[in-house]
Amino acid sequence: MSRHHAWLSVGLVFVSIWGVSRAEAFCGFYVAKADTQLFNKASKVVLVRNGDRTVLTMANDFKGDPKEFAIVVPVPTFLEKDQIHVGDRAVVDHLDAYSAPRLVEYFDEDPCNQRLYEMAKGMPQAATMDSGGARRNGAKALGVTIEAEYTVGEYDIQILSAKESTGLLTYLKSSGYKLPNGADAILSSYIKQKLRFFVAKVNLKEQSKTGYTYLRPIQIAFESPKFMLPIRLGTLNSDGHQDLFVLALTKKGRIETTNYRTIKLPSNENVPVYVKDEFPAFYRSVFDTAVKKENMKAVFLEYAWNMNWCDPCAADPLTQDELKGLGVFWLDGDVESAAAPAAKGANNQILPMPGPRRPMPPGGGAAEVFVTRLHVRYNAENFPEDLVFQETGDTENFQGRYVLNHEWKGSPNQCDAAKKYLEGLPARRDTEAMTLARLTGWDINDIRTKMKLAGGVTPSQPKDAQDPEPKKLKWYQKLWK
């Protein structure tokens, strides 16, 4: 630890941006979600992007003394005070829950009702800053320019530029920042790209006024043709891999990375019913297996959908009020279209933060907001470059989705369809077991054992062929079971 401030873990150190084809309804019942809380050392950012305009919300899960919190963010342009905002963590958490991979369940219909059966078969499965003069002179001697200083909410913020990385390192260290080994080379590359640095610490006096026991998200709004997320700084002080969730809100379609492969997470798979009670472990294993298969060199798409609807929903869609709180600036014409010609000096224009608000219209969220959820597990070795994004015109719906199919319980004597249905169950169960083993890497024999134990009697036996009902125990015989 430094004397006042710790270099924040990858969760936020990296944070910087350079910034419908309707699928058939799933009609299932949502029962569980895989939000970011399932993963250790997980960070999430919300990225609102249209044209060259970006609003970035940097959520953090920092735990500890607020005076130890600090963040350094490379940014592509100078930021005025009005371009910096303190957001609402609850809205970020809502978007996380809304877009999270999910578990859904179905209940097989009576196969003797042919119409319902055919329908079911076709269903898609810090301390305050010191006096300014001395710091500015000291910074200048190091080739560092303090271009601006602001207090926004509970944060003291500086906008820095530098001529070379050694001077910037010296200045940051003298200001109480603990920098990881290897930062010199990465900072140097950002300086060569003529980037500025957004530096924030907690103002303890202002933080005490907020009444919050946690640090709220920091939001910045800017214009830049560059659409990227630097992650290299954050890899320096990590003792292993880290998980990053990018929750993007765009106007035209989903986003993807251009310098790494963006692939869809395995989805729409039928798994055994007992997974309902083990969903957190199940999903972590699914993601671990997918990362291993790609040698930790891919970015995974977990969700892509228009905000107007979802099926099934892991949470209610965000309201227009919430979307504006995240910086979706094109709703209700709050600002001119980002596609309009930029005025002279556009790189330094101020992008207004959310303006007047109104209730969400009947029927859902915003028609012109497309949600993309990307999940990347990375380290310095496998992700040596910053993430570079592009917005696509692809509006095809996708969600990480796993399906439980509860079997119909009935007699094969009810009709020919019932007999055929029951005869097909053993093969279906075996397929579910093999699917679960493939997705998670779990031992197939353990899976088969759990599938059998979950139902008590082996489910493949028709009802009238099962063992007789167990003898009813007297009350005192149950005490020690």
Reply yes or no on whether the pLDDT at 341 is more than 60. no
Beta carbons within 10 angstroms of residue 231's beta carbon:
24
Name the one residue in this structure whose structure tokens are 């890899």: 235
pLDDT band at 3 (very low <50, low <70, confident <90, very high): very low
CB 196 within 8 A of CB 75: yes
Q: Is the pTM of this model over 0.75?
A: yes
> Could you give the 3-state DSSP secondary structure of residue 469?
coil
pLDDT tens per residue across span 259-295: 999 999 999 999 999 999 999 999 999 999 999 999 9
pLDDT tens per residue across span 139-193: 888 899 999 999 999 999 999 999 988 899 888 888 877 777 788 888 999 999 9
CB 152 within 8 A of CB 128: no
Closest CA to 103 of 279, 281, 301, 284: 279
Distance CA 45, CA 60 (A): 9
Mean predicted confidence (pLDDT) in 80-101: 93
Distance CA 149, CA 279 (A): 47
pLDDT band at 431 (very low <50, low <70, confident <90, very high): very high
Reply yes or no on whether the pLDDT at 466 is more than 60. no
Strands, E, within 224-366: which ranges?
A: 228-229, 242-250, 255-257, 261-264, 269-271, 298-306
pLDDT band at 235 (very low <50, low <70, confident <90, very high): confident
> Could you give the 3-state DSSP secondary structure of residue 172?
helix
Reply yes or no on whether the pLDDT at 242 is more than 80. yes
pLDDT band at 342 (very low <50, low <70, confident <90, very high): very low
Distance CA 184, CA 428 (A): 57
pLDDT of residue 434: 94
pLDDT band at 368 (very low <50, low <70, confident <90, very high): confident
Question: Residue 351, Cα to own-chain centre: how many angstroms?
Answer: 24
In the chain, what are the domain boundaries?
10-103+126-404, 408-468
DSSP state letter for 414: S
Reply yes or no on whether the pLDDT at 22 is more than 80. no
Please report which residue ranges of 294-335 form alpha helices under DSSP H: 320-325
Beta carbons within 10 angstroms of residue 130's beta carbon:
9
pLDDT of residue 183: 84
